Amino acid sequence: MQTNTSFLSALRTPRLAAIAAAVVAAAALTASASAGSIAAFSGNTQPSKSPADSATVNFAVFNRTGGAAGDSFGTGVSSFDSFFAAGTSSGALDTSASYLYLYQTVANGNTSTGVFQNTVGVPQSLVSSFGSFTGTTFSTAVVGTPAGFGNTSPASTGATPVILSGQSGLTGFTGANFVSIGASSVKANYFATEVPFGSASVLWGYTSNFAPVIGNTAILEETGANGLAPAAAVPTPSAGLGGVVLLVGLGVNAARKRRATA
């Protein structure tokens, strides 16, 4: 992609130049995103809070461009759309949205504790549908190179995930296990059965017309811990230029240690 240097040089203030550069960078991201997962926003994070290593959150962002009927976002599973189970208050899967954000909760820390909530920070106004995908999983327990436990843990990206369907033994969302949304986060609530230690959830997430940046995800088990993961965001100069944007207000309160009852 070529940049119009005469246009940039004509700008008279650093602020205008920064905004123009952000537009150019955002256009480059859109142009480079093909059907299927976006490697720069696919991988994992491993939230932790001493002394307990909590879990892994696998994630992948898919672009609708080039998707096919039944697999609107080019996941590689021909009937992927049909596996969608709408979250609380969500409508049907928005197959006209530009992006699909997928997450998977994996309870694989250094304790035998299950996970009973996993949230991703995203403004509710940017989400067009949300829920889970019955019987689906990423093909590996941890997508990409492990990011390493830490609080706040980094995001390891650059993965090309493979999605499998018809899988058993995954924690799903029925009854008191449900996907919900708040003003600033989408929440995977495992209040009934948790994600047992050594197990993984089905894929869950949301659709949006807004491109990804690196934001925040949180795990809640005996303690709460944060990690970095992709999320939809309103374009800003810093985000367009590759800046890290931390999305706060996840609705996770470390004081909520005790498991909720159905």
> Containing domain of residue 148, as a range?
35-240
252 located within any domain? no
Do residues 50 and 11 both lie within one domain? no
Do residues 65 and 156 both lie within one domain? yes
- Give 185-243 pLDDT, tens digit per residue: 999 999 999 999 999 999 999 999 999 999 999 998 777 899 999 999 998 765 444 44
Which pairing describes strands 129-133 and 84-86: parallel, antiparallel, or unpaired?
antiparallel
Length of the chain counted residue by residue:
262
pTM: 0.80
Asked whether the beta carbons of 52 and 223 are under 8 A apart, the reply is yes
Q: Is the per-residue pLDDT at 164 higher than 60?
A: yes
Do residues 206 and 79 both lie within one domain? yes
Do residues 69 and 135 both lie within one domain? yes
Can you tell me the distance from the alpha carbon of 200 to that of 204, in angstroms, rounded to the nearest whole number? 11
200 located within any domain? yes
67 located within any domain? yes
Do residues 14 and 43 both lie within one domain? no
Q: What is the reported pLDDT for 215?
A: 96
Do residues 26 and 113 both lie within one domain? no
Do residues 6 and 79 both lie within one domain? no
77 located within any domain? yes
135 located within any domain? yes
Other Cβ atoms less than 10 A from the Cβ of 36: the count is 20
Say if residue 152 is preceded by a cis peptide, omega within 30 of 0: yes
3-7, 15-19, 94-98: which has the highest mean pLDDT? 94-98
246 located within any domain? no
Do residues 6 and 72 both lie within one domain? no
5 located within any domain? yes
Do residues 153 and 222 both lie within one domain? yes
151 located within any domain? yes
The domain total for the chain is 2
